[in-house]
Structure 1
Amino acid sequence: MSSAMIRVEGLRKSIRNGARTVDILKGLDFTIPQGQFAAIMGSSGSGKSTLLGLLAGLDTPSEGNVFLNGTAISYLPEDKLAQVRGKTIGFVFQSYQLIPTLTALENVLLPHELNADAKEDGLGRARELLVSVGLGDRMDHYPVQLSGGEQQRVALARAFILRPPIVLADEPTGNLDTTNGAHVLELLLNLNRTEGTTLVLVTHDPVLATYANRRIVLRDGLVVGDEMNASPAEAPREAALSEG
């Protein structure tokens, strides 16, 4: 894990609230090397979701820049930014973000269909991923026919379809019960290790963070803790997570 996959330099984000300026992020600097699993922690209002949006290029900072695999992304034109996102980032959202009119297989395949540069057999890759997350017999089901845990597993498979070097996960177990949350986390960690991606997970749950190689803690828009975890917990196989 020597090369920097994510680099944050002087990152600030402020918004106007009437006549007042609210500083959400107050000048962040850190690097996440290739292959690392980093948990970004903090309570509500700490700035962690804003930071994730900036890492993903979904928002523009007030100052500073984000570099993904050496490319500065924060001020790119939208067309170039979309190209970088499509090649570099896989997303896992708390609310699944599946398209209700597409089957599980079609949802997983969608990023491949939208990427003109994709060379791999997308259909074969999508089927392989759905099998790997235990949904080999649910490929033709629509989201409404799937449980919350199954929908999040579809979202996991979709995030990895293009073999992105970076996966960003926003509270991926937050809408699930403890048992399903543990299963989804196990699948996410196993996929991450198999694919060799850099994983950044935003969470308020300290139990989730025990599985990470590194914990970055935000409070009031500042990094107040940044520590390596010498012995990350093994991927859970039973209901082991706290309710979130």
Structure 2
Amino acid sequence: MIAVEGLRKSIRNGSRTVDILKGISFTVPQGQFIAIMGASGSGKSTLLGLLAGLDTPSAGNVWLNGTVISYLPEDQLAQVRGKTIGFVFQSYQLVPTLTALENVLLPHELNADTKESGLTRARELLANVGLGDRMSHYPVQLSGGEQQRVALARAFMLRPPIVLADEPTGNLDTTNGSHVLNLLLDLNRIEGTTLVLVTHDPALAAHAGRRIVLSDGQIISDDLAESDNEQQQSAAVAR
């Protein structure tokens, strides 16, 4: 579902070049939940931005669902991104002048090929995240946890094959963070998406089936959770 090959990202800082990512490669199969970890400055958020097509690599390639996105023209990239990726931001990124329902509907309005209304889908998603009675509220009328739940519903609106989440619980207290994480996992399980989550929180990463750790722009570990290892071994025996 995701393939990364020789991915590099460098920026100019005055007279010198700063290497943020240093030629990393990995693949993510369909349906896998992967946590990308690392200290601040390790390159994990840069990597997520490249996976989402929000930035252009200095070298290397990113494939999403079989399409190379790294150097596509912006109009083509926007089409691929809109149909392939749901993105959950740490800071919610809701449109303040739209209600919760309108925010969830936004991907449908921007990307759907059909003229059919997405209202039923949007209402179902908001009900699934416990906001069935808050659909007409604006972001300013919602708590941080409620805003993040709206963002979760929006990310799944078009049933994207891939959902990317950047520190989705980073701005929330422990209780709300735990609730949002459980909702994200439930939605991911129900929708059958591939989930890539960036986090610095080991407790959050412990829920992932696979953990990739970055340091200084390089992968220093890439481990499957024990249950995923057992599943792969069973599949190998069956073959």
TM-score by length of 1: 0.92
- The answer to whether the aligner puts 1:101 opposite 2:97 as a matched pair is yes
User: 1:22 aligned to 11, 18, 24, which one?
Assistant: 18
| Structure 2 spans left out of the alignment, 5+ residues | 229-239
Which residue of structure 2 aligns with residue 81 of structure 1? 77
Which residue of structure 2 aligns with residue 222 of structure 1? 218
- Aligned-residue Cα RMSD (Å) equals 1.0
1:222-241 alignment, distance < 5 Å: 222-231=218-227
Q: Percent identity?
A: 84
Give the stretch that moved more between structures: 8-17 or 111-120.
111-120
Which residue of structure 1 aligns with residue 235 of structure 2? none
- The answer to whether the aligner puts 1:201 opposite 2:202 as a matched pair is no
Counterpart-to-counterpart distance in 2, 1:217 and 1:34: 20
Does the aligned pair in 2 maintain the 1:8–1:29 contact within 8 Å?
yes
Counterpart-to-counterpart distance in 1, 2:126 and 2:26: 34
| Structure 1 spans left out of the alignment, 5+ residues | 233-244
- The answer to whether the aligner puts 1:159 opposite 2:148 as a matched pair is no
User: 2:110 aligned to 104, 109, 114, which one?
Assistant: 114
Shift of 1:121: 3.9
- The answer to whether the aligner puts 1:6 opposite 2:6 as a matched pair is no
**Counterpart residue type for residue 223 of structure 2:** E
Q: Where has structure 1 moved over 2 Å in runs of 4 or more?
A: 118-121
Deviations 1:24-50 (A, max 9, x none): 000001000000000000010000000
Deviations 1:34-84 (A, max 9, x none): 000000000100000000000000101010000001100000000000000
Counterpart-to-counterpart distance in 1, 2:178 and 2:133: 21
Deviations 1:141-161 (A, max 9, x none): 000110000000000000000
1:124-143 alignment, distance < 5 Å: 124-143=120-139
TM-score by length of 2: 0.94
- The answer to whether the aligner puts 1:176 opposite 2:155 as a matched pair is no
Does the aligned pair in 2 maintain the 1:11–1:64 contact within 8 Å?
yes
User: 2:207 aligned to 211, 225, 232, which one?
Assistant: 211
Give the stretch that moved more between structures: 13-22 or 191-200.
13-22
User: 1:45 aligned to 34, 41, 48, which one?
Assistant: 41
Counterpart-to-counterpart distance in 2, 1:133 and 1:218: 32
Q: How many residues align?
A: 228
Secondary structure, aligned partner of 2:155: helix
**Counterpart residue type for residue 218 of structure 1:** L
Does the aligned pair in 2 maintain the 1:118–1:162 contact within 8 Å?
no
